[in-house]
Structure 1
Amino acid sequence: MLNFLQNFLTSKEFIPHGHCYLWKLNLVGLHLLSDCLIALAYYSIPVTLLYFVRKRQDLPFNQMFLLFGTFIVACGTSHIMEVWTLWYPVYWLSGFIKAITAIISIYTAIELVSLMPKALALPSPAQLAAANRKLEREIGDRKQIEEALKESQTKYKTLFDIFPIGISITDELGNLLEANPASEKILGISTSEHTARKYDASEWVSLRPDGTPMLPSEFASVRALTEQRVVENVETGIVKPNSKITWISVTAAPIPLPGYGVAIAYVDISDRLFAEEALRQSESTLRSFFNSSSMMMGIVELYDNDILHLSDNLKSAQFFGTTPKQMKNRFSSDMGASQATRQLWMEHYRKASNLQAPVRFEYIHETPADSKWFSVSVCPIAIGLNGRPRFSYILEDISDRKQTEIALHQALSKAEAASIAKSRFLSNMSHELRTPLNAILGFSQMMVRSHSLSPDHKEQLQIINRSGGHLLNLINDILSISKIEAGQMTLNENSFDLFELLQDIEEMLKFKATVKGLYFIFERAANVPQYVRTDESKLRQVLINLLENAIKFTKKGSVSCFVSLETRNLQLKTDNFLSSIANPQYRINFTVEDTGFGIAPHEIDTLFDPFCQTETGRQSMQGTGLGLPISREYVRLMGGDIVVNSQVGQGTTVTFDILVSKTTVDDKKTSYTGKRVIGLQPNQPIYSILVVDDVEESRLLLVQLLQPLGFQVYQAANGTEAFALWSTWEPHLIWMDMRMPLMSGYEVTKKIKATNKGQSTVIIALTASAFEEERSQILSAGCDDFLHKPFQEAQLFDIIARHLGVRYIYEDENLLTLAQPTVTFEQLTVEDLSVMPPEWIAQLHRAVLCANDERVLELIEQIPENQASLVQALTDLVNNFRLDLLLELVQEFMNIQSHTTITIGDSIVG
């Protein structure tokens, strides 16, 4: 063997292969290069095939690829041996390699032939492409199915988790596989505890609807699993660990999947059962009420021409003379209801059906014996199975109430007639009283102008004027309280200077306080607005009334008035939220204090009752008891209220507040100059004025006031004359009385203003009515302004100047208004009366108690001439209506005299 190898590998027996090419360098190089390149190519192909086979082991025929690679390596080796034998003649080795290459080649060829049918059976590229496309579609479909399955699983999981119904799933052995969160809430146990139990575990404590224990064999889940069917709506009570019972409705169904048993769903029906129980109790209560009610009730069904009674209570059955059972399913016509009655009821039933709301009506049920009034309420409730509407009805006998209403209506009619008669009476009385007062006060003012009158006569005229003014105030008070009682009082707002109003009142009343020796204090806070808007007239009347009362019932000390602005924010309801900004409102407080007699606690409750007076007021023999009631109503009308605090012997405090709007405007178009008009300034037209009044005295007063000043004045006694004079004379201004015979002032004003010429004529209404409600009626008739009777002459001249532009000449001294007496006197004392005998004092006391001014003046005349100051003081008290002060003085004198007599008598006896 060793010799064979030596011979096999030896190269000494042969010459190198290069001798065949004669060692020609070109030829040797050509073969060398070609064989090397072929060998290199042969060796690279198996490497590539080996790499391909390792990467694609999934492909068929890998063995053939390896065999083919071995064949190529052998071929490449044979070419390497060709290069080697050029210099080393190892031809045995080269031949052996070629033999191996031949064997491999033959084997490869044989294998390739046997593999050819299989290779030919492989799909073509087109077939592979089609198969690939089919495969891709199948892969896409599979992905969609997987996505849908994933989405379905997500939806199922979401619903399973959030569904409010408890859901449990078991296997075929009854072990709980899954339970959703709702089951934890319904059953009162955690999900882990739930899934640890079997569906028929002894831990489940279940109750039947009647409260007895439920056996596991009755469970819906057990029955569904054993019977292999759906078991629905099994109601059971689950006793929770906290011993509370939850009532559930269970439905179970078998799951036709391997490894699964049943699906169990349960709903909490506790609220429904409780509601059903409450409904049963409510129905029982309603049924009890329905049957025991004193009103007739029932349920009916409406037909075309009749009414079918379905259910009626005992009261209804008694009305028809039958029983509820006998009334059931009977028509109204069968029970004696007339056609007219049925039509009335059906009409209202149909109305209720259209409105789908209750309808109420009243009707009279006529019977041969009597007639009764009934109040009926019908209401739609449902549609019957036959499609006909059903209604409930409630019927109440209101005959007694109707009789009362009729009586009340008759009483109300009488009261309204009485109220209308009262209003007419007050209106007529106002006119009849104020008309002569107009002449009395007007002529007394004119007579004061005369320089020929003696001081005594002027003083008497002042008494006439003050008495007329006092009477006018009484008339106004009675009219005011009448309007308050009738609810006709209105607020007439205007803008004015509050400071000026307070100053006027202070100056007006300061004299009365000084006469009695009282300190009169008027104080105003610095933040009180000067210009305000409210009812100036009513505010003035309230302040004057309260201050006069304070002065009247205060013997010594002081009377004070304090005005302040409330600083807290006002929460006022307004229609527009901007209104409070554009027109801010303030609350002003007024406090009137005195150190007078005071008011007893039991009298404060009746202080604001009309015509009621305190004991002190009754002793004063003055007043009507209307001041405070009127003042309170005025204050309330101005948005405030009035409060009285008092202690007997220490004084009284009256506080009230009003709402005002702050403004910077004074509505007073002109202000009185305080001087009397004595003529017209020169270089003016001759103004013509027509005076129309059916009362001669009223016409004469105006004529005598106007003619001496330079006005051209004509008179007319009725509306017909007025229209004729106006047509021919065309005056600049007409003073028109509104109440006249033949043609009233309203009619003639409308007739004049209806013409183009009449539009330029100024018409001023003169009315003796004190009712402010007539203002709008007068202005709507066409009047340019109005003036109440009785009037001050300054008001008359002011209106003329406002509308015609007249300029006046005034007196230097203020003689326009009747001044208060300028005489001053010391405070009267008991000693001042001691100059007179006791008999005189007793007579004076009786005269004062009887309010007999004439008798008091007669007694004053009996005072000796050397007591002129006493005469003057007592006369001033009478002329200023201060009999209250005189009464106090006389009673004090008589008390002292009585005490002195008793003391002397005791001394004598002792």
Structure 2
Amino acid sequence: MPDMIPLDTWNFFFAASPFIPHGHCYLWKPDLVWLHLVSDALTALAYYSIPVTLFYFVKKRADLPFNWIFLMFCAFIVACGTTHLMSIWTLWHPSYWLSGTIKAGTAAVSLFTAIELVVIMPGALALPSPAQLEQANQELQAQIAERIKAEATLKTYQTQLEQRVAERTAQLEASNQCMEELLVREQEARQQAETAKQEIQHYTDRLTLALDAAKMGSWDWDLQTDTLFWTPIHEAIFGYEPGKPERSYEDWASRIHPDDLPRVEATIQSALTNREDFDCNYRLLLPDDTLRWVDALGRGYYDATGKAVRMTGMIQDITSRKLFEESLKRSEETARQQLVEIEAIYASAPIGLCVLDREFRFIRINDALAQINGLPASAHLGKRVHEILPELGQVQQPHFEAVITTGEPVLNVEVKGMTPSQPEVERHWLVSYYPLKKSSGEVLGINITTQEITDRKIAEQSLQERANELTQVNAILARTTTLLKNRNQELDQFAYVVSHDLKAPLRAIANLSEWMEEDLGQQLPEENKHQLQLMRKRVYRMEDLINGLLDYSRIGRREVSIEFVSVQELLNEVIDSLAPPSTVAIDIVSELPTFPARRLLLNQVFSNLISNAVKHHDSPNAHIWIGCKEQNEFYEFTVTDDGPGIDPQFHMKVFTIFQTLRSRDDQENTGVGLSIVQKIIDTEGGTIQIESALGEGTTFRFTWRKHPRSAITDID
């Protein structure tokens, strides 16, 4: 059996004299005693619960590197909790040797843990960094952007194709409708011409009958007395009231249209002079403004000396005939114009057009369709479709028969096959079949329009293949997005561990050093005090380093709202929050803009740059200048100081994370601030440069977009 601990040793540690219980220091005031008792008890309870949580975490996370360091943390945290229990014990029992021994053991474990933490730090830093995860995130964002761009391009091409097809279809329908209307008008014009001829013949027959029946007005003009006699029909034609057969020349002349009267009088005079028959058409203008056309025929009679003494004749109302002749003339002109338009459509239409009779023979065809078929237009006329295009004729036979049988059009039929022009190439057409009808509704033939859509079919097939490729890319991106989501969750969990499980022990170490310094008081040598203070500084530096790492990892992964920012007001807030010494002068040397930006990120950039200018200045009387210059798409900001400057060989080093140019024991600095600045500016699409030389001050020059990029959010 091992030797028992000597009794003297136990007495030494638990001896009560010559010391007094710690409660005497509190004058045994109940409130004060209970305050310390409850505080130490709760602290001890908290310290004992932390190792349990850490031990459970290490056991569950077998893949966690350096898990033994967590067990070391468990050991010194348990020791810390024991010191608080000893504080309760020494309230009534002055076992200060035992208390001091426990504190010494706690310090040893704490120091050993801190040293081992420094030793494993390079290995911890070798773990995948947030920058690497951020790079993977950016690459994924680039792939997503490329996919969205490809989808937008595909959609644009599809929209353009649909628009072109719709435009061509509309043109085809409009051309076909126009052609059909023109053909119908041509038939109507021909029918009207035929009807007009028939009506003219009927009118001639009626006129003959009228002449035979003496239905025409007659007149007798006495040239010597200048009096006129005419029949009642003549009176009715001239619009006179019946009952006054005798009229004067002035009565007759007053009813002649003023524009025609000189011509009519000249014709009469010429007929009398030349002893010719008077034959003239002229207009009557009646008192009620009615206009009539009349056809007058007269013959003169002469005395023995050859002087004209009398003229008789017939008169006929030809108003209806004149109107009909004018209507017929207009109809013929319209028909001629329609025929010209039809010919122009057939000659210039960008689509194939043809007309088939009821036996499916070509009776008209334009050059566009003849070119599609690969034969001259003249080779088609009079031949059936099956003779020119056997395969295509057989395919379209049911549509021909449907139009002839039902009298209804068959629209937008997709036909594919080969033609003599390209016997080895399968081509596609969009064909419509329209009935060509008489006015009675009888189908005379078929009007066909043909539009080639081979290129569209090829494009549709290409688009389908592209869509299949995009579907595969979408599946890959979905898997990548899931993987990145899991990686971000792991990063968030790691950040939580760093923030919660590492910062709490660090604060415990700092508090322990303060308590040791307070408890030992004047008994602690100055060298030990300096070491404890140095340890606390390094603990605080470690906590700042952890905070900096967390801030650095969050850049670009959290959504930051965009708002209109007055840079002048923003700088006022930054300077007020930094509260620089009164000996530091900060001047704004140019007008500052107001523009949309992420205010929080711009605040971080200015805060770090101004804070560095103040912190690293070698004189208390520092001077800082802030300026701005507008560029095309950016604002260029400058932060200049008159400090000691930076050697050009270290210009790139200042932006490297954890890098400092001076010892951290000489000046508290984590080396993260400028790394955060550079990462923020890179994320916002800007650049940052440093201009400095030893003894000449330093200028940080960075650009910021006038219009920010779209918000970047976490992939949750």
Relative to the length of structure 2, the TM-score reads 0.32
Instruction: Specify which structure has the bigger relative contact order, considering alpha-carbon pairs within 8 angstroms and separated by 6 or more residues.
Output: 2
Q: Which of the pair has more CA radius of gyration?
A: 1
Relative to the length of structure 1, the TM-score reads 0.26
